[in-house]
Amino acid sequence: MYRRVVRPVLYRLGKGDAEVAHEQTLHGLRRLGRIPGAVAALSRTYGALPTGSPRTVFGVRFPSPVGLAAGMDKNGIALPAWRALGFGFVEVGTVTAHPQPGNEKPRLFRLVEDEAVINRMGFNNLGSSALADRLAAYGDLGYPLGISIGKSKVTPLDDAVEDYVTSLRRLSAYGDYFAVNVSSPNTPGLRSLQDAGHLRELLTALHAEAASLSVGGLGGKPILVKIAPDLTPSAIDELLAVCTEVGVAGIIATNTTIGRPGVESHPLAAETGGLSGRPLTEIAAKTVAHIHAETGGALPIIGVGGILEPADAMRLFDAGASLVQLYTGLIYRGPGLIRRINRGLT
């Protein structure tokens, strides 16, 4: 039904502008979450989780290992509804210390034939202070919440550490884990923070701040690092060495790619931004497998990228992922994909 009826309607919104469909979907879910009984009704269709699916990773118990990736609900406006679609956890953001509008529109493009998306959103969000207020109003969501934090565009790279620390400080009480996004291709210079020296300084400061709030370090709220799929194996190994040294709780692999694997001839391939969806299936699986092998399975991995079928999720689990996340797959396959993956876990 989603692919035959719902998806064509969404694709026509805003004269085909993918961002309009995104926003309309979010606001629809937000309204649904406010209707008494609506979330419960939706849960009966999509939200049932298979027996035996809960698992504990980096000290957090997840009712299902299938989560919503960052980027879909940056400001957390639809959080009550996501669990009803079958997600076992949700990652909000990426959020920055300063509110920012993001890059100029249009900035989100569907490559429908390739089941891919190119985005150059640029961390458009209302800021970490606004997100903290919203999360305080929600109270207990009934599932684990991850919070992705990034650098504000107006903040110079030399001041990036304080920018991240500010967001962590504001949001520390509300996240079950924190994802440090140093791999988006849409904020100038951000990926340089994946370099060993910069990354060590950033993660050390975040752990120190978390410890001072009595929620961090090795015994508190887990801090994860989200990496780019464009790193060479040696660069990944160098990054992993820093993460192990500092005491990072896990790795999220991967973000979007600046490459155009398999879509080079598409008319939209020249658009600037990160590519997600089917072209990342192979890259994400290989990256997860490399991280798992390099760390001997000691560092938990959230696998994300190119999940459009249950088999894609299972491949990431087989490669060493403890959890997986969806975003682009939800756009092309709808909430039925989450249900099918959850059923496959049985």
For the chain, what is the total number of helices (H) and then of strands (E)?
12, 13
Contact partners, residue 104, CB within 8 Å, separation at least 6: none
Task: Provide the residue type at 83 as one letter.
Answer: R
State the Cα–Cα distance between residues 108 and 303, nearest whole angstrom. Answer: 23
Across 84-189, the runs of DSSP E, i.e. the strands, are: 89-95, 108-111, 116-119, 145-149, 177-181
Catalytic positions, please?
Answer: 184
The total of other beta-carbon atoms located within 10 Å of residue 104's CB is 8
User: Whose CA is closest to 131, among 209, 73, 207, 203?
Assistant: 73
Question: What order of strands is seen across the sheet that includes strand 274-277?
Answer: 108-111, 116-119, 274-277
Contact partners, residue 15, CB within 8 Å, separation at least 6: none
Q: Count of residues for the chain?
A: 346
| Cα dihedral across residues 12, 8, 275, 261: positive or negative | negative
**Region label for 71, one of left (φ > 0), alpha (ψ between -120 and 50) or beta (otherwise):** left
